Amino acid sequence: AQSVTQPDIHITVSEGASLELRCNYSYGATPYLFWYVQSPGQGLQLLLKYFSGDTLVQGIKGFEAEFKRSQSSFNLRKPSVHWSDAAEYFCAVGLGAAGNKLTFGGGTRVLVKP
């Protein structure tokens, strides 16, 4: 069965500093990869997705993610964090035609210090 691991439960970062959130997946083939963000009390919003092609993907709100097949990773980055980036971030893996379903990681909560 596929699995998604987000090793960091909490990350605290200063405003203006860079941010990197880790995501590792376990699956035999290259799955569809997603990053979602959840602000407090809200549903999830898609930040970016990777299906194929260029392994560096640009998303909304200044986020980017890099797919590394050799490491089975899809880490999310932002060069300069804003206070509004405080939220919970979820990595998700999709199997496509094998089930039209997503498997989510446990999430990483990001706190932004002024």
Partner 1 sequence: NAGVTQTPKFRVLKTGQSMTLLCAQDMNHEYMYWYRQDPGMGLRLIHYSVGEGTTAKGEVPDGYNVSRLKKQNFLLGLESAAPSQTSVYFCASSYSIMNEQFFGPGTRLTVL
Binding segment for partner 1 (CB under 8 A), chosen from 4-12, 20-28, 61-69, 72-80, is 4-12
Which residue in 90, 93, 110, 112 binds partner 1 (CB under 8 A)? 90
Which of residues 28, 29, 69, 97 is near partner 1 by CB under 8 A?
A: 97
102 binds partner 1 (CB under 8 A): yes
CA 87 – CA 84 distance, rounded (Å): 8
The answer to whether residue 40 forms part of the interface with partner 1 (CB under 8 A) is no
Q: How far is the CB of 20 from partner 1 (least distance, A)?
A: 19
Of 17-25, 39-47, 62-70, 74-82, which segment contacts partner 1 by CB under 8 A? 39-47
For residue 66, count other CB atoms closer than 10 A to its CB: 16
Q: Which residues of 82-103 are buried (b: 16+ CB within 10 A; e: fewer)?
A: eeebbbbbbbbbbeeeeeeebb
Q: Is 43 in the site for partner 1 (CB under 8 A)?
A: yes
46 binds partner 1 (CB under 8 A): yes
Tokens 């999310």 belong to residue = 76
Query: Whole-angstrom Cα distance, residue 98 to residue 114?
Result: 45
